[in-house]
Structure 1
Amino acid sequence: MQIEQPQTIWFDTRLEKKYIDQFIAEEDIEASTVNQTPNSKSSQSNRISEKENAVFRYICGYLTPQQQIVHSVVGFVLIWCIYGASYYTFNLSNYPQQYSIMTSTFSFLGSWDSERNPKGWYWFTIGMILSFFVEIPLLMYVYQRLKHVDLKLAKVSLVFWFMGVCAQFLVGCFPDANSIIFGKIKFTDIHTLVAIITFLSLLVGAPINGALVAYDRPGSCKKIGKKNMLNHRCTDICIGLINAIFCISLVFCGLGQLVGKIATQSIKNTIWSFPLWENVVIFTLYLYLIWFPFTLPRRTDGICPKQRLSTSFKKISLDQIQLKTDLSRTWFQILNSKKVNSRNAANLLEHISDCEEVEDLLSYQAVVVLTIIAEMINNNQNSAEMKKTLKEFTKNSNELWNWEQTLKQCII
């Protein structure tokens, strides 16, 4: 049998044990309950558990690139349609005066003051609150990938971004209106405070994300990989440009505030106009949130084990439950350096040889390697012997696989 050229396979030893055990248990349940009636209590509880797990994975950013794109497109199109409704009602309330980024801040769309948007201020609030729920999975999606570059910096960035989107949520809850909440405190006072927190938090988080990608550019490809990533020079330039626009806009916002207190007509319609730069900041922020996740590698490091294996089996018929169970069990046992069921490992070769256009973990040669490693574990051979055998295997088959990197990320 001719061994086909393998695609690059990434071994990841960071799979949490709780996910491993959970996945194996779910596969056993799935295999044993195929013929059960859907009305049984156990099947209902399993479905509820799967739904809860799916929601948890979604919120935590365990999305495929395709899911991330759909999430971003649908979410942000809906958000800007809502903002469009607020823009339309603002123009109706102030006719013949129209909304202008030179004279009106973005927050005017959400103010029920009579001279702003009393007829449709609530659209702005809905849009801001919806932005919070759309952005959280995206932030986690970015974190799941950038944490492989530098875990501490990725966490710092995530904290600031999370503070920013939470403050953005409060921006929608406390519109820029002059109504009094209690005492001398007005809605606009809290609105201004949380808006400042939003901008300052994102001012820190955005450059950290850009720096992590620039540090691990695909030219070195040491952490997050380069598969299907955009040209790294273009990526670095665009990230730097967007970050620069964001930071410069915030500076001009502050200067405009100091020079004219944003209400002085003498600076409106000029470069010092606060409304101008506030709108630029907001538009740049949404552009960043849409574009930045798209530039990240299409690697699946951020996908939990079950979803990772489900993706690998996407070209295999769904009725081959036993094949899925055997492969996942063998793989996880290897990662945990446990005894491997030799029958399962051997039967995989026969199954895989009949599959066409398989990829990643289902690659024929990948299973060969897993079988070799499994046998070595069962025979209690040490790392040096394992490495020597794998090198000999690749030498005889004239393959160009980088085993040094593979072994470091595997069980050695």
Structure 2
Amino acid sequence: MILGVLEEITEHERRVALTPEITQKLIDEGFDVWVEPGAGMKSNFPDEHYKESGATIAGNRDDVLSKSDILLTIQTPDEEELKKLKKGAVLICFLWALQHPDLVELLKELEISALGMDAVPRISRAQNMDALSSMSSIAGYKSALIAANELDKYLPMMMTAAGTIPPAKSLVLGAGVAGLQAIATLRRLGAVVEAFDIRPEVKEQVESLGAKFVEVELGDEDTQTEGGYAKELDEKKQDLQRQAIHEHCKKSDIVITTALIPGRPAPVLITEPMVKDMSPGSVIVDIASENGGNCELTEHGKIVEQYGVKIIGPNNLPSQLSLHASKLYSKNMYALLNLLLEDGKPNFNFEDEILLKTTITHQGEVISPMLKSG
């Protein structure tokens, strides 16, 4: 059974799907691991480390594609590369199947068994496989550092001979994994932090990190999906939400936005009038920019300045901490492989909720309940 690892060639992608440490564990369990030359270099894992772990450094990329029984990547290979896989091969990576129906059709046609790392259910038994949470934690941490770097103020309170500087005020929109990590990092840097989320369930977590939770009365409506994500609100409640955000944006030096809705464009939480009312020199870091952005003035991959406010739409934040991101992703991958593999071969036991929900296609059929219900 050959497990293949490719160099990630998507723009701004520096991670690698398997580290030498996890490669060695898989080899010790009896698997062959073939690694494309240079696959780990951008994450500071040279080929020599893979050789020491027992991996085979393949001749080239096509060798990995054509020989792999299971291909492990971060980003989805392109159509031409998918066609080079064996019939019945297993592909494990971020697939974002809801957003890419053409990809799902291609995977069905090629009879590739595809598992989406973005589709791992958020249940306690799957926590060690949850790559979205691993990567979101890194994104939240890095977003706070970017904000601190771009702001022309101290974050902590400073008492100097020339006078006392008050701490910077920050607002985090969305208190999922990324938002909570952003809160924790901003607090460690000394900022005063407020946080908003439509899910009242997260108030306790926000306050445990030393931030103030911004409450908006949204009635008794269920604001959380089965998977723990925020639900999209109706127009009336969105207006209430925007009014509250507007008032808190006006007094914030830093705003970090993290709100995402699975399978949908990111909701717009910060409008142009809100930006206009912010103080010159303020900073917005829009983590959701890859999905359209939570600020309507965000331009993905750019830093733009509007009304004196810097609006940052960062590229692939987890990849900016590629070494640790690769280590965490690799451990998530290893945990999923331990569930999938039985007696050295894939066993697609769809009685298991994790495998049922994570598997997008298998043997030419769509398996994912998420896609079937959609």
TM-score normalized by structure 2?
0.22
Asked which structure has the greater CA Rg, the reply is 1
Q: Considering Cα pairs closer than 8 Å and 6+ residues apart, tell me whether 1 or 2 has the greater RCO.
A: 1
TM-score normalized by structure 1?
0.20
- Between Structure 1 and Structure 2, which shows a larger proportion of strand residues? 2
- Between Structure 1 and Structure 2, which shows a larger proportion of helix residues? 1
